[in-house]
Structures are given as structure tokens and as C-alpha cells.
Amino acid sequence: MRWSSIISAAALATSAAAQDPETFPYCDELDRCFQGHAVDDTGVVFGIAVPEDTSAENFDVIIQVTGPKDTAGWVGVGWGGGMTYNPLTIVWPNGDDVQVSSRMAFGYFVPPLYEDASYTVLPGTHVNETHYQVTAVCKGCTLWAPFDGESTALNGEGENYLAFAYSSVPVDDPTAIDTTFGIHERVGHWIHDFAASKSADFETWVVAGGEGEGDAKAPEAPAEPPAEEEEPPAEGEAPEEDGGDGESSGDASTSSSTVLTTTTTPADPASTSAPDQEPTEEPTPEVEALPLPASCPGVEAPAFPLVTAEGWKIVKISGEVVRPRAVVVDSKGNLLVLESGRGLSALTLGEDGCISTSKLVINNGQLNHGLGITPDGTKVYVSSMTTAWEYSYDAETQEVSGQRVIVKGMYSGGHPSRSLVIPPATPHLLVMQLGSNANFDMESLQIETARANVKVFDISEAPEGGWDWVTEGWDLGYGLRNEIALVVDGNNQVWGIENSADNLGRTAEGTTTDVHIDNPAEELNLLGDPSKPNTDWYGYPVCFTVGEPDVFVDKEFKVGDQFVLSPNATYDDTNCDAEATPPRLAIQAHSAPIDGAFDKDFSNMYVTLHGSWNRAPATGYKVVQIAYHKLEDGNYDPVPSADTHLPYVDIAWNDNVDACSGNTCLRPTGITFDKAFSRLFVASDNAANSELFVLYKTE
């Protein structure tokens, strides 16, 4: 599309930072020699050794991790270079011992245990006054197949792209191998040469087995450790949606990258045309409302104290769900819940309005976020990071049949959520989003890259094997960093709510100002009619939205204005005004919107704010209400003006939001109304306590 020279320059800079191959040899106290990588000023060192013969499809690897006892609460390695869809080695001190936990994540939440990789702890595992060290052989870390049966293998004869993460905050229960823990404070990558890691004594070390004693200390690294690269945030947390599902993780230093030096007029990208077909809205049958429960028998109190606005009540109806990310209601009023890393469950409501039964409908650990249902309730749609499937669904029996791939070939990295929605008036269309591959995904400036965008696919015409995400379907906007929430109004218009970037600084006249606490704003964007292609560019990764104008020192802004990180003679804020489609509303930075739902007459949109990881004090962790009205031309539009600061009303929230984190507060994700529009169902995927609630008006 645009600015090809900028993309090339950014790609070269990123490549230079990410592909520095520098590692160093060292030998431990037992005279075992490793090829090491040091995480600069943290004191964390990773050592790797492999056998001389790595021709086996899944060869073993020895990993040694050394960390300062007082500052490295936990440390992790991602064997595929990411935090999701590859084996993770997580280690932490446990008194005088060190725990090694095998994990794999399918989204940016606490990764569950991964049974296909196992560890045997070796001598050289111990804790002393200053450091802890663990040495273990891993079986299953060099070959894995987490989705679609496609395997990934490490190169035993050359370089491999690895990732690390660590936090100074200890895990929640150091004695439990499946403990939860908070989001990392630091993340990065390095290139590790496995050929240089070969050891003739590898098998001897493995046979030795057992735990050993020794004096743990950090191996000495070279004076110039290799450069590191940021991992994309969690969706909303960026690594979590979100939190998000503005999710960017990494060093919390400010960034002032993306200096534009040349520009060209955006080209009209080629796109598959939308079919010329009139919307056919399905009538919604009237459903009698169940009682509104004041409490549910056998259900424990909410894990965290909650507060509601006057005239509202929130009631916990389940604590038995697993990482719930999306919710819809079927034609019988049953609640369908997408549980990330587990599958799809159906929850039946009893006559008291509480859950009476629960059933696992789709058992598939690849599913991580997306969930949709047709207006007649006969088809459900679910997604992994790479694929979207359709199932025939029977609400009476709560069973599925006839699995069919609708979309394939989605990017298997970056923000992992693949939100989807079936617009009621066009039930033959599937609308999906795919986020960026990093905090700044410069390649996504080209619409053909098909990242940081929203696309539409005709389900009724889907070929065998499904549509290809990159080359087929049509666009419904791009330059959308991570449009996790997709909501459809009464005119079948699609609205997207974006998780924007992290760690921003504004560089002007040679001075860099940290603006990241309240900038950039998350965004409410009108994407439009899904039956018509929309090739508008919404600004990312160049133009961002002002959330708090007062922190900018070089220029006067108002809320909702567009800004670049480094204005210069050839590209500045005025170019954004001319070329980028601005958001309709600016939402609190780092609050991580995950989902939304309109009420019956489309006079309010209710939005879940998953909560921040990149802001102190914390923000989000609540459900909010955005007022809408119908304009004279018949279109639905928010009541607040585009320059309104915090254009919503809090409906339900934690009573200690400033101190919230990923496992200490309500973390709202999916939200939907029941068939009678008498209550909202709200999911929370808190890492330690996943829950479901009903939220309703009392007056």
C-alpha cells in the first residue's frame, strides 16, 4: 500500500535487533559446558546443550537457567520464539529447591501444563544466598504440533529463534507445578546456535540424573549481550488481549520509533469483491425471561469484591469454567462458553436463573477465543489462532456435527485472538479480525499483508478446505492494531473496539516525552456494512489517538486527535488527519476492551474492559456502558462527541482497580444478553479464578 521505503527501513532495523546471534560459551561448577545467553542487566542466564547427533526428529536438549533469587521470581523460555503455541519452560525457586514446569499457551493468559514435553532434573540444581539454578533435560522441546497437526522442529545443526520472559514477582504457589503467576515484566528474543551447543558428553550428563549440589552463581556473560525484541502485548494486556486478546509485553521503556521520511499516496488495494446480495434478517423469537437470581446455591462468592452502579446487581453463577473468553446464547437460551485451551461448553439455566447442568460440546484445546452463532441457532463458529470452523448445532441435545473449515491460513503469531461475529441480517457472512504481529507491525501498512485488519468471508460459498485468510475474502478495514471486540448494531453495521499500542513516547524538536500512561487511547471504530468492502486505513502502525492531551509538550491536542510518534518535515500529524480514518470514540488507554453487546433497542453498548498491564495505577477491569442514539439518517451513533474524555459510564467494577493485576481482580471478557434481554452474561478469565456472572438492572 504505502510508504514502502519506511517499511524496508523498519524491517531492516527490526531484523538487525532481533537476529543478533551473539551467545557465549561457559562451563558450570560441574565442568559441563553450555552455549549461553545473558539477559543484560537482569542477572538471568540461559545455557543450552544438545547431543552431537541431532538427526533424531525430536532430539533431547539440556536447559540450564540461572537467576538472582531476590529479583527473578520466575523465568521462562519459549522454544519456538513466542509465548504461544510452542513449548514453554517455566522455572522458579521453591525454598531450597527449584521447580521446572512444562507449559504451552493458546492465548495470552497463564499457560496450562503441557504434557507432551517432560523434564528430568539433573545435578547442578540448587539455591544459595544469591542465586538459584536449575539444570534439566527436556524431551519434547524440539518438536511440537499444537494446531492443525502441523509440526514444528528446531534445527539441531544451526540457529534457532528463542524467546524468554521473566518477572521479579514470585509465582502464586511455589510448591505447585501448575501454579498461576502474573504477567512478565520483561520479554525478548535471541538467536541460539545449536551447532555451537553440541556436547560430546551430553549422554553422560543425562545418565548421571538426579538432583545435585553446587554453588549457584550467574555465568559471566560478554560485556555486550545480544539485543532483544519486544513481544506483542497481550490482547489487552498484550500478551493478553488484550488485556489485551492492547496487549504488548516487553521492557517498559518508552518507544519513539517509526520516523517517517517519505510518503506516497495510498494505493487502492486489490480485494475480493463482496457478493451483490441483499441482507435477509432472521426474526428473533420471543423468549420468556427466567427469574433474576439474587444468588446461586452451591456457588461461592465472587473471588474479588465487586461494585455496581446504582440500580444494577451482579451475581456469580459459576466458578467452574476454564479461561472463558467468549459467550453466546443458543436458540433454547443455553449459554455457550468458549473456554480457551479447552473447547466449547454449553451451560443450561434452571428455573431459578442459575446454571443447572454443564456439558463440553467441543473438546479442542486449540480453540482460544472466537465464538459466533447464526440467528437461527443452527450453526456455531469457533476459532484457533490459524483456523475458523463451522459446526452444525442442535440446541436441544447440545451436540455438534459436520465440522467444516471456513477460514484457514491465519498468521500463527502475534496477538492470538481471532474474534468473529455473524451479523444477524447477513447470516451467510463471517466477520473476523486478526491483530498485529508486534507492538509495531510495519508490514501491516501493506493491506495485502492481512494483519492488523478485519475481513469478511461468504460462508455459503466457502470452498472445500476453507477460504485463505490472506488472499481471499474482502476487507472491512485495516490499520487496526487489535480489533478484538466486534459488535453489530441495529442496521447490521459492524463496530470494532481496538486495543492500541504500548510504551509510546513522542519525539519532537529533539526531545522525547513519555506519554504512555494515558496514550494512545483504545478506539471505537465504525467498520460499516459487512456486505461491502471497506479498504479504509485506520492509522496503525503510524497514527495513534490522543487519550490525554495535557502530557504533550510540543503541540496542543484534544481527545480523539491523531498523532505520530516523531513528526518531521515529510510526515506529521496533519498527514494522519488527511489519510487515516479516526475513531468515533477514544477509550481509556490500556484498558483492553475485549467484547461488547447492544441492548434490545440499540440505545446502549456494554463493553468489557479486560484490564491493563502497562499502566500504574492499573485501569480497566470493569464493564462500561456507552450510550447510543439513532440519527436522522437512520444510522446508530454514540451519544458522546469524539473529543469526550472517558465517554462511558461504569456499570460493574472491582473496588480496588488501582491495584489490580491479571490474577487479583475481575477480568471481564465475553459479554452477551440472554434471549429476553433481561440480563447480561459476563465472563471473567482471571488467571487464578475464572468465573461467570449475570449483570442486570434492579430498577
Residue 531's pLDDT is: 98
Helix H, strand E, coil C: the string for 571-613 is: CCHHHHHHHCCCCCEEECCCCCEEEEEECCCCCEEEEEECCCC
Same-domain status, 173 and 321: no
Residue 366's pLDDT is: 86
Residue 612 has, within 13 A of its CA and on its CB side, a CA count of 26
Residue 252 has a CB neighbour count (10 Å cut-off) of 13
Q: Which H/E stretch holds residue 373?
A: strand 371-373
pLDDT band, very low/low/confident/very high, at 22 (cuts 50, 70, 90): low
What is the side-by-side strand order in the sheet with 485-488? 485-488, 494-498, 522-528, 585-587
Where is the domain boundary, 178, 208, 238? 208
Residue 306 C-alpha cell reads as 465487586
Residue 286's pLDDT is: 61
| Residue 541 backbone class (left: φ over 0; alpha: ψ -120 to 50; beta: rest) | alpha
Query: Does residue 421 fall inside a structural domain?
Result: yes
Residue 148's pLDDT is: 55
Residue type, 538: Y
48 forms bridges with which residues in the sheet?
Answer: 35, 63
Residue 198 C-alpha cell reads as 553440541
Same-domain status, 175 and 315: no
Query: Does residue 265 fall inside a structural domain?
Result: no
Query: Does residue 370 fall inside a structural domain?
Result: yes
Q: Which distant-in-sequence residues (6+ apart) come within 8 Å of 41 by Cβ?
A: none
Residue 699's pLDDT is: 82
- Between residues 122 and 8, which one has the greater pLDDT? 122
Domain of residue 550, residue span: 306-697
Residue 277's pLDDT is: 54
pLDDT band, very low/low/confident/very high, at 163 (cuts 50, 70, 90): very high
Q: Which of 335, 337, 346, 349 is nearest to 292 (CA)?
A: 349
Query: Does residue 161 fall inside a structural domain?
Result: yes
Calpha distance 134→94 (Å, rounded): 11
Residue 312 has pLDDT above 70, yes or no: yes
Same-domain status, 311 and 194: no
Residue 146 has a CB neighbour count (10 Å cut-off) of 24
Residue 10 has pLDDT above 60, yes or no: no
CA quadruple 180, 182, 183, 187: dihedral sign: negative
At 394-426, the pLDDT tens digits run: 999 999 999 999 999 999 888 899 999 999 999
Residue 585's pLDDT is: 99
Residue 222 has pLDDT above 60, yes or no: no
Q: Are strands 312-318 and 691-697 parallel, antiparallel or unpaired?
A: antiparallel
Calpha distance 7→538 (Å, rounded): 17
Calpha distance 436→359 (Å, rounded): 34
Where is the domain boundary, 145, 178, 208? 208
> The CATH number of the domain where 314 resides is what?
2.120.10.30
Q: Which H/E stretch holds residue 165?
A: strand 159-167
Residue 467 C-alpha cell reads as 477460504
Calpha distance 309→486 (Å, rounded): 25
- Between residues 338 and 15, which one has the greater pLDDT? 338
Q: Which H/E stretch holds residue 11?
A: helix 4-18
At 625-650, the pLDDT tens digits run: 999 999 999 999 999 999 999 999 99
Q: Which of 350, 348, 398 is nearest to 373 (CA)?
A: 398
Query: Does residue 550 fall inside a structural domain?
Result: yes
Same-domain status, 191 and 332: no
End-to-end CA distance of the chain: 52
Cβ 187 vs Cβ 234: under 8 Å: no
Query: Does residue 663 fall inside a structural domain?
Result: yes
Percent of the chain predicted with pLDDT > 70: 85
Q: Which distant-in-sequence residues (6+ apart) come within 8 Å of 62 by Cβ?
A: 34, 48, 49, 50, 122, 135, 136, 137, 138, 202, 205, 206
Cβ 171 vs Cβ 100: under 8 Å: no
Query: Does residue 485 fall inside a structural domain?
Result: yes
Cβ 212 vs Cβ 32: under 8 Å: no
- Buried/exposed code over 181-205 (b: 16+ C-beta within 10 A; e: otherwise): bbbbbbbbbbbbbbebbbbeebeeb
Calpha distance 3→261 (Å, rounded): 9
Residue 83's pLDDT is: 83
- Buried/exposed code over 125-141 (b: 16+ C-beta within 10 A; e: otherwise): bbbeeebbbbbbbbbbb
Percent of the chain predicted with pLDDT > 90: 75
Same-domain status, 583 and 691: yes
Query: Does residue 293 fall inside a structural domain?
Result: no
At 231-290, the pLDDT tens digits run: 444 443 434 444 444 443 333 333 333 333 333 333 343 444 566 555 554 455 566 789
Residue 308 has pLDDT above 90, yes or no: yes
Where is the domain boundary, 181, 208, 235? 208
Residue 147's pLDDT is: 57
Calpha distance 405→391 (Å, rounded): 9
Over residues 500-505, mean pLDDT: 94
Residue 91 C-alpha cell reads as 522455572
Cβ 551 vs Cβ 519: under 8 Å: yes
Residue 393 has a CB neighbour count (10 Å cut-off) of 25
At 586-630, the pLDDT tens digits run: 999 999 999 999 999 999 999 999 999 879 899 999 999 999 999
Residue 92's pLDDT is: 97
Count H helices and E strands in the chain, helices first: 3, 47
Residue 275's pLDDT is: 60
H-state helical runs in 213-269: none
* Domain tally, the chain: 2
255 forms bridges with which residues in the sheet?
Answer: 504
> The CATH number of the domain where 190 resides is what?
2.60.40.1210
Residue 463 has pLDDT above 80, yes or no: yes
Calpha distance 59→81 (Å, rounded): 18
DSSP secondary structure code for residue 452 in this structure: S
Residue 48 C-alpha cell reads as 543450552
Average pLDDT, the chain: 87
Q: Indicate the range of 18-32, 110-124, 192-206, 431-445 predicted with least confidence.
A: 18-32
Q: Indicate the range of 8-17, 23-32, 120-129, 538-547 predicted with least confidence.
A: 8-17
Scan for cell 472491582, then name that residue.
654
Q: Are strands 593-598 and 604-609 parallel, antiparallel or unpaired?
A: antiparallel
Q: Which distant-in-sequence residues (6+ apart) come within 8 Å of 240 by Cβ?
A: 107, 108, 109, 183, 233, 234, 247, 592, 610, 613, 662
